[in-house]
């Protein structure tokens, strides 16, 4: 009888250990595996190679995650802060998020992390100084979910795919002559509202809000004469000064002659020319920030200062410009 009991016990132990992978033979780790929700992340493909946060969330950015079992938050799922590794894996800063005893859950994530955020609608604003990587990354609002919510319980890591919710605006300055030195110029994007809201449960972005402010994007401009910033999607009214550039001896600025609509998830490149002590708007390209598609491209500025528009060959929207 004792021999049969010993054999049964040995077989049960072998079955438990075989449930673990070959390199996970620690009995205690095997017993607890499956309780903790493991997370990894990816960032949907972005247009501009070489920029910050193109294919992965930057390791300097922390992620906030909510886990909900119906109307209730699961253990460790109330705006939990996670760090991100270079390969996209998420690690909880404190405690762990756990699967409920039964059933599936819904996961909602965002970056950069904000303490005090809830599962409802929360306020967000971009930095008015984006001359550093920290200022830029702290302004790039990302939203991530699994491929489908709710998620069934699994021992595998759940992948959260993030997307950019705001607009990216790149300013490129071209010199018409060699006399004007713009290397040390300080560059600003002007006249935009810096605030908005985000509903974590739906991913819905609110209207642009708050007072308008100047966003410093380069100090100095540097040799490549290009700088970028993240801005809240909005319509910039006609007559608004869009860009100003401080040189050592004077200030130059460019004003839009008609409204400009900036949409979430799109990347805008504005090319300006310094000529005869003026800053003139040249061509403008609009790309889908999340894919390689070119939505539209403008070729020149007409005699009245309005942007003449023409769509790129791969345009996916109707043949009309929102930049006119």
Range 51-74 burial, b when 16+ CB lie within 10 A, else e? ebbeebbbeebbbbbbbbbeeebb
Residue pair 169/189 in contact (Cβ under 8 Å)? The answer is yes
* Model pLDDT, residue 13: 46
Residue entry with tokens 């200062």: 305
- CATH 2.60.40.2620 range(s) for the chain read 36-164
Using only the alpha carbons of the chain, give its radius of gyration: 25
* Model pLDDT, residue 7: 43
- How far apart, in Å, are the Cα atoms of 81 and each of 11, 117, 163? 41, 11, 18
| Alpha-carbon span 26 to 69, nearest angstrom | 30
Residue pair 65/77 in contact (Cβ under 8 Å)? The answer is yes
Residue entry with tokens 């310094």: 274
| CATH 2.60.40.2630 is right for the domain spanning 167-310 | yes
* Model pLDDT, residue 293: 58
* Model pLDDT, residue 294: 56
- Homologous superfamily assigned to 36-164: Fimbrillin-like (2.60.40.2620)
Q: pLDDT tens string for the chain (324 positions)?
A: 445 444 444 444 444 444 444 444 433 433 444 589 999 998 865 444 446 777 789 999 999 999 999 889 999 999 999 999 988 999 999 999 999 999 999 999 999 999 999 989 999 999 999 999 999 999 999 999 999 999 999 999 999 999 999 999 999 999 877 777 888 899 999 989 999 999 999 999 999 999 899 999 998 888 889 999 999 999 999 989 999 999 988 899 998 888 889 999 999 999 999 987 889 988 889 988 876 555 555 543 333 333 333 323 333 332 222 333
């Amino acid at each position: 009888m004792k021999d049969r009991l010993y054999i049964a016990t040995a077989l049960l132990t072998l079955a438990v250990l075989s449930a673990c992978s070959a390199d996970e033979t620690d009995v205690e780790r095997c017993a607890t595996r499956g309780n903790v929700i493991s997370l990894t992340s990816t960032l949907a493909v972005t247009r501009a190679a070489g920029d910050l946060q193109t294919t992965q969330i930057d390791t300097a950015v922390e992620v906030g995650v909510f886990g909900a079992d119906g109307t209730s938050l699961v253990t460790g799922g109330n705006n939990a802060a996670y760090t991100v590794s270079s390969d996209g894996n998420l690690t909880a800063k404190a405690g762990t998020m756990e699967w409920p005893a039964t059933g599936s859950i819904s996961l909602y994530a965002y970056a950069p992390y904000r303490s005090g955020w809830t599962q409802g609608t929360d306020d967000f604003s971009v930095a008015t100084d984006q001359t550093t990587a920290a200022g830029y990354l702290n302004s790039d609002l990302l939203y991530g979910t699994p491929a489908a919510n709710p998620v069934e319980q699994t021992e595998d890591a759940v992948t959260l795919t993030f997307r950019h919710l705001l607009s990216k605006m790149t300013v490129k300055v071209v010199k018409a002559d060699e006399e004007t030195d713009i290397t040390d110029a300080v560059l600003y994007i002007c006249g935009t509202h810096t605030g908005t809201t985000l509903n974590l449960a739906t991913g819905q972005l609110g209207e642009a809000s708050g007072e308008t402010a100047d966003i410093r994007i380069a100090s100095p401009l540097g040799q490549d004469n290009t700088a970028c910033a993240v801005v809240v999607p909005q319509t910039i009214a006609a007559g608004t000064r869009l860009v100003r550039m401080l040189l050592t001896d004077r200030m130059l600025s460019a004003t839009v002659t008609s409204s400009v609509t900036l949409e979430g998830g799109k990347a805008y490149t504005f090319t300006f020319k310094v000529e005869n002590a003026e800053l003139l708007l040249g061509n403008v390209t609009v790309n889908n920030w999340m894919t390689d598609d070119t939505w539209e491209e403008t070729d020149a500025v007409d005699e009245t200062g309005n942007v003449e528009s023409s769509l790129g060959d791969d345009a996916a929207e109707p043949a009309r410009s929102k930049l006119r």
